[in-house]
Amino acid sequence: MCGRVRLSSDYSELKIRFKVPDDQPAPNFAPNWNGAPTHSMPIVRLDQGRRLMELAKWGLIPFWAKDAKMAYSTFNARAEALQTMPSFREPWKKGRRCLVPVDNFYEWQKLDPTGKQKQPYAIALPDREIMALAGLWETWKSPTDEIVRSFTVITTTPNGEMAPIHNRMPVILPPAAWPTWLGEEDAPLEAAAELLAPYSEHLVVWSVHADVGNVKNNHAGLVEPIALT
C-alpha cells in the first residue's frame, strides 16, 4: 500500500528533474508533507508527445463512475491486477501512464498481530533526489460537467528493505525507465509491464512520529527521524 507521501520540492526543481519543457504551464501547488488520497498533486504525463506536469486528484475515478467517491478506494492499483480490475483496465490498455513525483513516501509497520499498534516510517532515495512512482491517470466528467483529472499509484511486492515493514510497496521508476513508461519510446505494452517490479536499488528508511497518521498534520517536522524506544 502507498497512502501517504511528501512532496515539498517546488516546481522549479520538478521541472528540471522531469525535463518538462519551458513553455508548459506551471501548476500551482503548496509544499505537502502529508499528501493523502483525494489531495491534488502533480503528475507527469505525455500531452501530444510532450511532457506535461499538471495537478490531478489522488484516487483514480473511472470515466464510467457515477460520482467521485470511488477515489477513496482507488488510490492504489496492484500491478498484478491492472489488466483485470475494471477501474484500471481501461487506462492501462489505453496507455494512460504517468509519473508521480514524491520526495518520500510513508509506510506503517504493524507492531502487534491485531495491527492496532503501528510504527510509521519514511522511505526515500539515498541521495534524497525526487523519486518517480508509477501511476495511471484518467479523465472523469461529473454530473455537473466538471472535468476531473485523477490518478492512482501502482504497487508491487516489497523489496528486501521494505519487506520487514509492509507486504506492498509503490513501484519506483528510475529515470532510465521514464521514456518507456510515459510512452515516449515505441515499445509494446509488455515493456511497460516489465517495469512493475520491486525497486532493485538501495532505499533509506527511518522512523518518524505517529503524527503523520493524522492527515490534518502537515508540517516539515513530520519527516524528522525519531529514536525508537
Q: What is the pLDDT at residue 164?
A: 95
What pLDDT sits at residue 112? 84
pLDDT of 178 reads: 98
Q: Of 13, 54, 80, 107, which one is the catalytic site residue?
A: 107
> Judging by beta carbons within 10 Å of its beta carbon (0-12, 13-18, 19+), is residue 19 exposed, middle or buried?
exposed
pLDDT band at 1 (very low <50, low <70, confident <90, very high): confident
Q: What is the pLDDT of residue 176?
A: 97
Q: Where are the domains of the chain?
A: 5-223
Main-chain phi, psi angles of 80, to 5 degrees: -70, -15
What is the 8-class DSSP label of residue 222?
A: G
103-113 pLDDT per residue, tens: 999 999 998 88
Catalytic residue among 2, 90, 146, 185: 2
Segment holding 112, helix H or strand E:
none
The CA distance from 63 to 161, in Å, is: 37
Report in angstroms the alpha-carbon separations of 99 from 84, 95, 178, 214.
22, 13, 8, 26
pLDDT reading at 119 higher than 90: yes
98 classed as catalytic = no
Say whether pLDDT at 137 is over 90: yes
pLDDT value at 10 more than 80: yes
| Number of alpha carbons in the 13 Å side-chain half-sphere of residue 206 | 14
> Is pLDDT above 80 for 84?
yes
Looking at the predicted structure, is the pLDDT value of residue 184 above 90? yes
CATH class of 5-223: alpha beta
**pLDDT at residue 148 above 90?**
yes
C-alpha cell belonging to residue 178: 521514464
Q: pLDDT averaged over the chain? A: 95
Known catalytic membership, residue 107: yes
- Across the beta sheet with 32-35, the strand order is 32-35, 5-7, 104-110, 118-124, 204-207
